[in-house]
């Protein structure tokens, strides 16, 4: 192992040597600097490797011949190795990124960089308080120097503000340090830790000053205006250094010093941290300048870390794991984002669509955003998980809430940004110049954060158990993106089929049903993908990622695995949804609702883990404390996916704007993940009560109202796919209601309903998708008469709507019948009536769908339209066959499901005799009904055909039309606002109240954000006042006066 | 005005913090903690009569290295911040004439000041003073030169060469400490010598000389940068 | 006792000079006063048995700092002059 | 004989009786109305004439396959509805195919014909058809709500969804009829019944007095004949349903004729008294008082 | 009263100077004045540090006489704070000069020393 002091020696030596090189020698100075940075990276990585392979014990490095506390000593332990490695790598890669810029400025600029890194290394390693002060000064002066690499009024004024703030803060630090020395007689941190500094008022004030100064370095809200300005004003490469390297070191200093403070003070700081986290993210909402936005985000992340470290006494031994994993994500992501920002050089995040000029940058951008938000498989995912588990496991619900709120806000602006980059129109005037030395660091960090995620997972107790194979399979498609659709699609289908074949026997019964929906359904919808030509970039990795998530849900044994899969599914589906033409806002709201829901699930799982040693999913069976809360959190979380009323506004747009085969994927398959979640929740936790009110009872009303609202909205849509999307909302309302019944019949209804809905929604979405594919419009009133051009699609839709409407004899009725038996048994008639009513409304939109598109007058421009692509029809007819089969033999489907439910709800209230089902209340024989109806139908048809066989087919406009002859199909196709009288009568029920509610929340958040940001008026002196006020207020809070 | 009164209230709040510190201070009678060790063993361990120097250069030598670095860094940053265009100097400086008396007396004073500076840092381990003070005095001498004899120039190349040389040597001495003695920056790479003589206290005089040179050149550099900026236009 | 009186006098001088430095409109005078504060402080250091610090404060705190202030002030004044 | 075959034959017999009854009632009711209004009116066998005329038309046109199948759906729906109900209580002959499904099947099967009709009409491409469908569907959804509440209330009352069991429970004098034992449910259902019959004041769907409008606008010849057959069977099937649910069913054909005729007259009576509703009015109306009555019915039967 | 020594007086003055500096930093609008206030702030801080190291009736920690070289610990003031102050002064110089250069550059950009004029970055 190389003595870490050489890090200091080499960096200093090279910096001092640079003076020898005049202007001509600045290249040499540059290369030498890079070499030095490379060397120090090597040294710290070597130590890190030593610690990770557990061959190495922490090493003390003494300066001079004397032992501490008489002289200054450095410590190289595991954490130090991690932190110095991060800093040094950032120095090296960041230096590479800035190389040209630095070279332009001359060797002095390299000196600043080298000394910055040197200073940061020492502040991480040193165990001496005053030494810390000195090297913090070095680092901040170096930063102040680097800020003005690009000299303009912005960078200079921000640098000046930085210097002013830094001067004040370091004054506090020095004052505190000296008084600590006065009280303890030593400057050694370890020496201080051994004494109880909080007994005497004076020494606790000294501690207060030191810690507050360090906290101020971490830019707490609201004393952080200078920090934000620096992020915006400095060159992006420098901001990257500040955000990644400098903040990393500051965090470690904070970690190192916080044990000096009393526990109450630690909590106070944690509170400040969390306030910073939430407030900065709130302010991030209204930012449009990328660097400033990143600045707010950086500050918020550091605030979060501050909170975590402040709470370390609560969190316990996993604090370090959490801090490092979140920090690492932040480090890579923030550096990468700043770098990208530096490459494309725009002043507005709306212009980030220029990223699409470079695929690799776009991909990296996405990776960084995901890493930052804490989605799998990135390190922060595990960190946040562990954090929430620990906090909620120790009853710290307020903290959990605040953390989740803050994270949610961050996700909001980050994903808005990502959406801009992926979807907004390319601004023509900007074309980024991409230099090799700038793009390599970005790629390197993007790759590193993935690797880091994997290692973090491997270092987590449950992360180890995660099955990464499906994800790897999905990601492998990134590598073969250059192949044509045909090959990739075949591979994807083969992969899913093989996986299902190999594993389906290992699933339990109910899981197997859902596995079939997920995987076989996936295969069916993928079949439609053959209709696409070209490469279809970016489709397969994400589609398969979604399926990987769905598989993970089924296979999950532990809570972490479950949550991981849940998030993975969300990511995949997000990218599928955002592929749609106008889906930018819908994809965002989908993501936000998903993330919100996921956070609720995470909190729920966390609370469920109270007092549990192992975190397998079975803990849900034995929730002893806060069981109703756990139940509600999880249920609401799952219901964001099932789009229950109030949480549904993301769905219509997201599903409607998606591509022809994506709509069925997200609508028919993905929504069932929510049902699956609810199912396992109910299986595990059973019925819970708030006071005396049963939560499933509430859930039943949610389900009923969802169905009513969804179906009603569907009836008033003009957009065919939106209609189907709302219909999905309604249908999922039935499923939720069925589950909430908590009876054998109810669950049987819900599961059979899920299966049927999967099939018919896939069928309908594919059929309508095929129509939209040919017609290039989704507005139904622009269609019409297509039965003549697209008879196959028509037939699919016909069967689809009959099933959907639940009209006998098709299988839709089996769901309705079961549903009523269940309602009768449970005696929830009012909800039942509401559901019945929604069922009739379903009738309205079903008719509308088929009428407006396929019947009525064919438009002139559609006279030569072709039938939908073959490959879109193939899965439809497979589904049709299955649907008709089930219609004929309902018992064959329902009986096995009923048997599967017996272990959970043993009172099998339904008896089968062949295809005849009997309950206490009624009976029904699907097979005979089918035979009778087909019989009557054939006879009647035969009779009619016999009587009317010579009927002549007449032309389109040959209709009885009060003395005039219509010649424009538009005027004779009654389709727009079809249910006008209905809307007139009860349209007020579907006033967009819920959408308005969420919009108002959104506006409110922005308004508050606006208020907050007004604090930062850009005046350096005001910032200083903030700092002093911060100190005084914190003092008053913690000491309450003199 | 409102703002000022707000600030005043803030300062009063701050004064409360300061007051609590002040009130908790009781004059102590004896040395305690590490200082006691310094006082008792400093003479044997370091061999410098000036205990402050002993602490500065040896016990807390690492701080001092940082301190030097700060000046160096400041000078570098100012260097590229101001980015003086050296070529223009000649024409501008020629125009200015300063008083003859000042010039003459400066010619006598400057070498004396430099000498004083050198004395201060060479004797840093024995008497008050040291590298920083000496360096500052030398820099003052150059300031005087800039004022009194504006036509005299000092080569930036020489300045930075001296600066680099002394800095590098300082680091090397530090590293030698690891190799030859007990640790980084250990002064015992040279023998401690007779207590109280110039050539004592191990490497302290050497380090102080380097620091003096370095600080002197750095401060001179800063000022000459400013001065040359002055002459611009 | 005499030391105490001297210290108080020095302190008062420092406070007065500080107030001048902060509040006087003439910047040149303000800078000089601030340098004066340093100089007085270095005397105080001598009283506090800190000759090393006194020397440093005198040479760096009051000397060089003041010089740098003047250089910058000069530069700014020149700018102003050029503009006018 | 094969029991299935017997069943089919009995069913055909029921169908035959009901068809003739329906056709006659179609003629008789307007006749009564005319006489009350001191007009001569149509002959009571007018419906037969219409059907024969339609089937023997020589001009037979079709707008396409769905247009052709629409009436088939419609008639299948009408016949099916009848077939899934027990007609005469206690008679093995006239149980039809009620063993294959309960009340739910009947309630949902009503839509089969409606849907088919709507689809067929829509293919004609005539905007008036579509307008009729739009109105009809809107109104249907509205009156179905109180109707269902009433039916559920009965199901709660009798703890079964089996129609025969419901009828059985009402035997033993008119005091046992649901209309007496559960007046709220009966009220809700009878109001909804007005909508279901599509007579005034809820007849804007077909708007018989104006220019041809409503789903059958484009239908003629044999296609219209099939629709007319349905128009005879379907209302009677509905009447039988209401009779079974509310009025103790019928133990013989005469009882059936009497009860259904009276129920039918109820709708006629209301139609004479009230002016026609616009669809938005009728929707709002059905979702007003009748709905409240229905909810009340459920609450009352569940908790008292 | 007799208990009050020079160290307390110095300490008090140190605090006062420091607070005066802080007042200047927060209330002056001229950038040069702000920087000037910073030097006052530093000076105050330095006085505090030295005062803390002072011990009543002890001499400077320079062992230039033989008498001091025995039982040193009871005869000298604390050398460590003095060493710290040395560092602090030098750092102060560095920071001050950098601040001044910043001020100069700012002035060049906008020809103003009024701090309220530099609000290009905000919100």
Chain A residues touching residue B74 (CB < 8 angstroms): 141
Q: Which of A6, A63, A1039 sits opposite B62 (nearest CB)?
A: A63
- Between β-strands D61-62 and A952-953, what pairing exists: parallel, antiparallel or unpaired? parallel
The residue count of chain D comes to 304
- In whole angstroms, what is the distance from residue C23 CA to residue C35 CA? 15
Percent of chain D with pLDDT strictly greater than 90: 15
- A347 near E CB under 8 A: no
Q: Which residues numbered 727-756 in A keep a CB inside 8 Å of some CB on B?
A: none
**pLDDT above 70: percentage of residues in chain B:** 91
Distance CA A464, CA B196 (A): 66
List of chain B residues whose C-beta atoms are within 8 Å of the C-beta of residue C82: 233
In order, the DSSP letters of A524-558 are HHHHHGGG--S--TTTHHHHHHHHHHHHHHHH--B
Q: Do A141 and B19 touch (CB under 8 A)?
A: no
Is it the case that residue A249 has pLDDT exceeding 90? yes
Do A240 and A335 touch, CB atoms closer than 8 A? yes
Domain definitions of chain E by residue range: 6-61+69-117
**A280 in Cβ contact with A221 (< 8 Å):** yes
Number of domains, chain B: 1
CATH number of the structural domain E6-61+69-117? 1.10.287.3510
Under a CB-based contact definition with an 8 Å cutoff, are residues D141 and A840 in contact?
Answer: yes
Which pLDDT does position B230 carry in this prediction?
59
Query: Measured between beta carbons, which residues in chain C are less than 8 angstroms from residue B230?
Result: 71, 74-75, 78
For residue A13, pLDDT over 70 is answered with yes
For A760-811, what is each residue's pLDDT tens digit?
899 999 999 999 999 888 888 888 888 888 999 999 999 999 898 888 888 8
Query: How many Å apart are CA A748 and CA A653, to the nearest integer?
Result: 31
Q: Which of D10, D59, D63 to mutate to test the interface with A (most CBs of A within 10 A)?
A: D63
For chain E, which residues score pLDDT lower than 50?
1
pLDDT per residue as tens digits for the range D96-144: 888 888 888 888 888 888 888 888 888 888 888 888 888 888 888 888 8
Picking from A650, A647, A670, the residue whose alpha carbon sits closest to that of residue A585 is A650
Touch between B and D (at least 3 CB pairs under 8 Å): no
For residue A533, the cross-strand partners are: none
Contact at CB, C53 and E89, closer than 8 angstroms: yes
- pLDDT tens-digit map of A471-492: 889 888 888 888 899 999 999 9
From residue B195, how far is each of A286, C28, C49, E65, E69 by CA, in Å?
68, 47, 22, 11, 10
User: Helix B2-24 and helix A1020-1039: axis angle, to 10°?
Assistant: 50
DSSP strand pairing (A916-918 vs A923-925): antiparallel
The answer to whether C67 contacts B223, with C-beta atoms less than 8 Å apart, is yes
Q: For residues A972 and D229, which has the higher predicted lDDT (pLDDT)?
A: D229
Q: Is the predicted pLDDT of residue B131 greater than 80, yes or no? A: yes
> Domain for residue B212, yes or no?
yes
pLDDT digits (tens, 9 = 90+) for B30-61: 887 788 888 888 777 777 788 888 888 888 88
**Domain region containing D15:** 3-303
Tell me, yes or no, whether B201 lies in a domain.
yes
Q: Name the residue of chain E whose CA is nearest to C67's CA.
A: E97
Alpha helices by DSSP H, chain E:
6-27, 31-53, 79-110
> Which among E20, A144, A630 is positioned nearest to B81, based on CA atoms?
A144
Instruction: Tell me which H or E stretch contains E63.
Output: none
Whether the predicted pLDDT of A305 surpasses 90: yes
A1001, A988, A337: which is closest to A647 by C-alpha? A1001
Does the pLDDT of residue B95 top 70, yes or no? no
Q: What is the DSSP code string of B46-108?
A: T--SBHHHIIIIIITHHHHHHHHHHHHHHHHHHHHHH---GGGHHHHHHH----HHHHHHHHH
Residue B233's pLDDT is 46
Report yes or no: E34 at the C interface, CB cutoff 8 Å.
no
Mean of the per-residue pLDDT values of chain A: 88
Is residue B25 domain-resident? no
- Give the distance from residue D74's alpha carbon to the nearest chain A alpha carbon, in angstroms: 9
Looking at the complex, report in whole angstroms how far the Cα of residue A954 sits from the nearest Cα belonging to chain D: 6
Q: Where are the alpha helices (DSSP H) in A71-218?
A: 78-105, 107-125, 129-147, 153-184, 189-194, 201-217
Per-residue pLDDT of A185-241, as tens digits, reads 888 888 888 888 777 788 888 999 999 999 999 999 888 888 888 999 888 999 999
The residues near D242 (Cβ < 8 Å, ≥ 6 apart) are D189, D190, D193, D263
Give DSSP secondary structure letters for A271-323. HHHHHHHHHHHHHHTT--SHHHHHHHHHHHHHHHHHHHHHTHHHHGGGHHHHH
Q: Residue A636 has what pLDDT?
A: 92
Instruction: Name residues 41-80 of chain B within 8 A of C (Cβ).
Output: 50, 52-53
> Dihedral of the CA atoms A319, A321, A325, A330 (nearest 10)?
30
Report, as an integer, the average pLDDT of C51-56. Answer: 88
- Subunits with 3+ Cβ pairs within 8 Å of E are A, B, C
Rounded Cα distance, A266 and A211, in Å: 9
Q: For a pLDDT cut of 90, what percent of chain A falls above it?
A: 39
Q: Which of A20-29, A441-450, D285-294, E96-105 has the lowest mean pLDDT?
A: A20-29
Tally of CB atoms within 10 A around A486: 12
Residue A176 confidence (pLDDT)? 92
Query: Residue A105 has what pLDDT?
Result: 82
D290-301 b/e (C-beta count within 10 Å ≥ 16 → b): bbebbbbbbebb
> Would the CB atoms of B167 and A118 count as touching at under 8 Å?
no
Determine the pLDDT at residue B90: 45
Nearest to A248 by CA among A326, A314, A190: A326
- Determine whether A397 is exposed, middle or buried from the number of CB atoms within 10 Å of its CB (0-12, 13-18, 19+): middle
The least confident of A748-752, A830-834, A1002-1006, B98-102 is B98-102
Strands A59-62 and A73-76: antiparallel
Number of domains in chain D: 1
Answer yes or no: is pLDDT of A507 > 50.
yes
Instruction: Give A-chain residues touching D65 at CB under 8 angstroms.
Output: 787
Q: How many CA atoms lie within 13 A of A532 on its CB side?
A: 24
B37 part of a folded domain: no
Decide if B161 and A20 are in contact by the 8 Å CB cutoff. yes
Q: Which residues of A touch E109 (CB under 8 A)?
A: 152-153, 156-157
Q: List the beta bridge partners of residue A128.
A: A188
- Is there a domain that residue B79 lies in? yes
Q: Quick one: average pLDDT of A604-610?
A: 89
Average the pLDDT over A546-566 and give the result.
91
Q: Which residue has the tokens 């940061």?
A: A120
3-class DSSP state for residue A923?
A: strand
Residue D40 CA to residue D32 CA, distance in Å, equals 10
Higher-confidence residue of E3 and A280: namely A280
């Amino acid at each position: 192992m190389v003595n870490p002091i050489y890090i200091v020696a080499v960096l200093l030596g090279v910096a001092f040597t640079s003076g020898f090189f005049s202007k001509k020698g600045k290249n040499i100075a540059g290369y030498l600097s890079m070499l030095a940075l490379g060397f120090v990276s090597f040294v710290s990585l070597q130590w890190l490797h030593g610690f990770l392979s557990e061959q190495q014990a922490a090493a003390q490095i003494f300066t001079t011949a004397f032992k501490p506390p008489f002289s200054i000593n450095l410590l190289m332990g595991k954490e130090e190795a991690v932190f110095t490695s991060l800093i040094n790598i950032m120095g090296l890669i960041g230096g590479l990124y800035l190389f040209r810029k630095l070279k332009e400025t001359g060797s002095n600029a390299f000196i600043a960089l080298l000394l910055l890194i040197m200073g940061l290394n020492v502040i991480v390693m040193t165990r001496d308080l005053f030494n810390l002060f000195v090297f913090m000064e070095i680092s901040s002066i170096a930063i102040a120097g680097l800020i003005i690499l690009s000299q303009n009024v912005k960078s200079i004024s921000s640098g000046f503000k930085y210097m002013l703030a830094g001067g004040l803060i370091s004054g506090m630090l020095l004052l505190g340090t000296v008084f600590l020395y006065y009280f303890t007689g030593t400057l050694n941190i370890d020496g201080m830790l051994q004494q109880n500094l909080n007994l005497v008022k004076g020494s606790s004030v000294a501690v207060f000053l030191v810690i507050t100064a360090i906290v101020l370095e971490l830019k707490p809200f609201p004393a952080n205006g200078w920090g934000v300005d620096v992020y915006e004003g400095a060159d992006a490469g420098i901001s990257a250094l500040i955000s990644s390297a400098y903040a990393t070191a500051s965090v470690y200093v904070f970690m190192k010093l916080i044990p000096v403070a009393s526990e109450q003070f630690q909590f106070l700081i944690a509170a400040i941290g969390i306030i910073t986290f939430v407030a900065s993210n709130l302010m991030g909402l209204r930012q449009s300048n990328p660097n400033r936005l990143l600045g707010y985000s950086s500050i918020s992340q550091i605030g979060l870390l501050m909170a975590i470290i402040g709470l370390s006494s609560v969190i316990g031994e996993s604090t370090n794991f959490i801090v490092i994993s979140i920090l690492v994500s932040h480090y890579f992501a923030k550096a990468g984002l700043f770098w990208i920002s530096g490459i494309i050089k725009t002043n507005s995040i709306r212009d980030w669509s220029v990223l699409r000029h470079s695929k690799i940058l776009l991909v990296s951008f996405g990776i960084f955003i995901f890493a930052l938000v804490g989605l799998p498989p990135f390190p922060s995912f595990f960190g946040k998980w562990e954090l929430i588990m620990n906090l909620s496991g120790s009853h710290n619900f307020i903290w959990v809430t605040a953390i989740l709120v803050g994270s949610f806000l961050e996700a909001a602006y980050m994903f808005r940004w990502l959406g801009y980059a992926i979807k907004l129109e390319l601004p023509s005037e900007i074309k980024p110049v991409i230099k090799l030395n700038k793009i390599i660091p970005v790629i390197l960090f993007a790759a590193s954060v993935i690797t880091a995620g994997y290692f973090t997972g491997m270092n987590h107790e449950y992360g180890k158990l995660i099955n990464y194979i499906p994800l790897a399979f999905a990601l492998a498609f990134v590598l073969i993106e250059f192949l044509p659709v045909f090959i990739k699609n075949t591979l994807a289908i083969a992969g899913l089929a093989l996986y299902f074949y190999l594993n389906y026997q290992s699933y339990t019964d109910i899981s197997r049903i859902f596995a079939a929906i997920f995987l076989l359904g996936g295969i069916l919808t993928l079949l439609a993908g053959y209709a696409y030509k070209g490469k279809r970039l970016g489709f397969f990795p994400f589609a398969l990622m979604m399926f990987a998530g769905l598989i993970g849900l089924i296979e999950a044994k532990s809570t972490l695995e479950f949550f991981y899969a849940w998030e993975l599914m969300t990511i995949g589906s997000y990218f599928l949804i955002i592929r749609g033409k106008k889906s930018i806002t819908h994809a965002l709201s989908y993501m936000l609702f998903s993330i919100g829901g996921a956070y609720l699930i995470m909190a729920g799982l966390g609370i469920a883990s109270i007092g549990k040693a192992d975190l397998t999913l079975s803990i849900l069976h034995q929730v002893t404390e806060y069981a109703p809360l756990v139940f509600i959190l999880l249920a609401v979380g799952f219901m964001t996916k099932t789009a229950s009323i109030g949480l549904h506004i993301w769905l219509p747009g997201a599903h409607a704007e998606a591509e022809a085969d994506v709509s069925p994927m997200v609508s028919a398959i993905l929504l069932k993940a929510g049902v699956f979640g609810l199912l396992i929740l109910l299986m595990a936790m059973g019925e819970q009560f708030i006071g005396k009110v049963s939560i499933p009872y509430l859930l039943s009303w949610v389900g009923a109202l969802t169905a009513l609202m969804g179906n009603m909205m569907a009836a008033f849509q003009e957009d065919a796919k939106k209609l189907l999307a709302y219909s999905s909302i309604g249908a999922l309302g039935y499923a939720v209601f069925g589950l909430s019944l908590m009876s054998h019949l109810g669950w049987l209804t819900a599961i059979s309903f899920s299966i049927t809905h999967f099939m018919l929604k896939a069928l309908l979405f594919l059929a309508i998708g095929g129509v939209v594919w040919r017609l290039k419009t989704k507005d139904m009133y622009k269609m019409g008469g297509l039965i003549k051009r697209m008879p196959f699609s028509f037939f699919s839709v016909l069967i689809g709507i009959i099933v959907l409407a639940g009209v006998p004899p098709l299988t839709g009725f089996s769901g309705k019948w079961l549903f009523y038996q269940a309602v009768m048994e449970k005696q929830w008639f009012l909800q039942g009536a509401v559901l019945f009513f929604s069922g009739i409304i379903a009738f309205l939109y079903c008719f509308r769908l088929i009428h407006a598109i396929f019947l009525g007058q064919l438009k002139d421009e559609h006279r030569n339209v072709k039938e939908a692509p073959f490959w879109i029809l193939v899965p439809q007819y497979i589904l049709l066959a299955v649907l008709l089969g089930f219609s004929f033999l309902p018992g064959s489907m329902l009986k096995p499901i009923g048997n599967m439910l017996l272990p959970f709800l043993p009172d099998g209230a339904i008896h089968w005799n062949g295809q005849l089902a009997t309950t206490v209340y009624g009976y029904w024989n699907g097979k005979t009904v089918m035979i009778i109806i087909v019989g009557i139908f054939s006879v009647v048809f035969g009779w009619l055909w016999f009587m009317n066989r010579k009927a002549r087919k007449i032309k389109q406009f040959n209709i009885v039309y009060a003395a005039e002859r219509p010649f424009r199909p538009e005027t004779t196709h009654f389709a727009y606002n079809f249910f006008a009288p209905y809307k007139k009568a009860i349209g007020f029920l579907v006033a967009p109240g819920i959408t308005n509610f969420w919009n108002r929340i959104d506006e409110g958040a922005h308004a508050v954000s606006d208020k907050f940001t007004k604090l930062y008026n850009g005046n350096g002196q005001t910032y200083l006042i903030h700092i002093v006020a911060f100190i005084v207020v914190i003092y008053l809070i913690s000491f309450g006066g003199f | 005005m409102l703002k000022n009164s707000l600030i005043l209230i803030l300062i009063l709040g701050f004064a409360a913090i300061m007051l609590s510190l002040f009130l908790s201070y009781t004059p102590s009678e004896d040395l305690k903690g590490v200082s006691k060790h310094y006082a008792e063993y400093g003479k044997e361990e370091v061999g410098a009569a000036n205990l402050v120097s002993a602490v500065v250069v040896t016990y807390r030598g690492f701080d001092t290295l940082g301190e030097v670095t700060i000046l160096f860094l400041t000078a570098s940053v100012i260097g590229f911040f101001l980015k003086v265009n050296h070529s223009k100097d000649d024409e501008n400086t020629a125009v200015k004439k300063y008083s003859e008396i000042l010039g003459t007396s400066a010619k006598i004073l400057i070498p004396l000041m430099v000498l004083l500076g050198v004395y201060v840092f060479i004797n840093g381990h024995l008497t008050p003073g040291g590298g920083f003070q000496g360096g500052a005095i030398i820099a003052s001498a150059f300031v005087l030169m800039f004022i009194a004899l504006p036509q005299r120039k000092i080569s930036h190349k020489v300045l930075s060469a001296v600066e680099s040389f002394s800095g590098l040597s300082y680091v090397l001495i530090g590293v030698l400490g690891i190799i030859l003695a007990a640790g980084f920056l250990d002064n015992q790479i040279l023998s401690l010598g007779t207590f109280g003589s110039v050539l004592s206290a191990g490497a302290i005089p050497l380090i102080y000389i380097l620091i003096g040179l370095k600080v002197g050149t750095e401060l001179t550099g800063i000022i000459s940068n400013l001065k040359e900026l002055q002459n611009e236009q | 006792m005499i030391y105490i009186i001297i210290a108080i006098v020095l302190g008062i001088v420092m406070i007065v000079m500080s107030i001048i430095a902060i509040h006087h409109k003439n910047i040149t005078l303000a800078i000089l006063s601030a340098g004066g504060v340093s100089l007085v402080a270095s005397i105080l250091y001598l009283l506090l048995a800190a000759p090393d610090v006194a020397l440093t404060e005198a040479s760096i705190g009051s000397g060089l700092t003041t010089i740098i202030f003047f250089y910058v002030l000069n530069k700014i004044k020149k700018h102003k002059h050029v503009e006018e | 004989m094969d029991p299935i075959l017997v069943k089919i034959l009995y069913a055909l017999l029921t169908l035959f009786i009901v068809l003739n009854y329906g056709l006659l009632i179609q003629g008789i009711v307007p006749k009564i109305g005319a006489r009350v209004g001191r007009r001569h009116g149509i002959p009571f066998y007018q419906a037969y004439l219409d059907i024969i005329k339609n089937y023997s038309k020589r001009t037979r046109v079709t707008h396409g396959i769905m247009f052709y199948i629409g009436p088939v759906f419609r008639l299948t729906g009408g016949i099916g509805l009848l077939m899934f109900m027990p007609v005469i209580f206690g008679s093995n002959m006239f149980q039809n195919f009620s063993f294959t499904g309960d009340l739910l099947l009947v309630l949902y099967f009503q839509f089969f014909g409606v849907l088919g009709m709507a689809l067929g009409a829509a293919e004609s491409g005539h905007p008036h058809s579509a307008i009729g469908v739009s109105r009809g569907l809107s109104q249907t959804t509205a009156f179905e709500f109180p109707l269902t509440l009433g039916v559920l209330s009965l199901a709660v009352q009798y703890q079964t969804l089996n129609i025969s069991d419901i009828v059985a429970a009402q035997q033993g004098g008119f005091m046992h009829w649901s209309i007496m034992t559960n007046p709220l449910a009966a009220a809700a259902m009878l109001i909804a019944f007005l909508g279901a019959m599509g007579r005034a004041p809820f007849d804007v769907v077909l708007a018989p007095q104006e220019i041809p409008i409503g789903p059958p606008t484009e239908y003629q010849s044999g296609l219209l004949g099939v629709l007319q057959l349905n128009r005879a069977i379907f209302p009677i099937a509905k009447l039988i349903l209401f009779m079974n649910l509310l009025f103790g069913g019928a133990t013989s054909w005469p009882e059936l004729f009497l009860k259904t005729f009276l129920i039918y007259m109820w709708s006629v009576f209301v139609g004479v008294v009230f002016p026609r509703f616009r669809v938005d009015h009728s929707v709002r109306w059905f979702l007003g008082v009748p709905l409240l009555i229905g909810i009340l019915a459920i609450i009352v039967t569940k908790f008292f | 009263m007799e208990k009050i020594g020079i160290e307390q007086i110095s300490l008090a003055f140190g605090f006062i100077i420091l607070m005066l500096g802080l007042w200047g930093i927060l209330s002056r609008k001229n950038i040069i004045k702000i920087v000037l206030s910073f030097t006052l702030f530093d000076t105050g801080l330095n006085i505090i540090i030295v005062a803390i190291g002072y011990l009543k009736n002890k001499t400077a920690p320079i062992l230039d006489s033989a008498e001091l070289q025995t039982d040193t610990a009871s005869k000298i003031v604390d050398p460590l704070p003095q060493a710290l102050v040395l560092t602090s002064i030098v750092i102060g110089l560095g920071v001050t000069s950098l601040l001044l250069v910043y001020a100069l550059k700012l002035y060049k950009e906008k020809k103003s020393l009024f701090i309220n004029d530099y609000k290009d970055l905000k919100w």
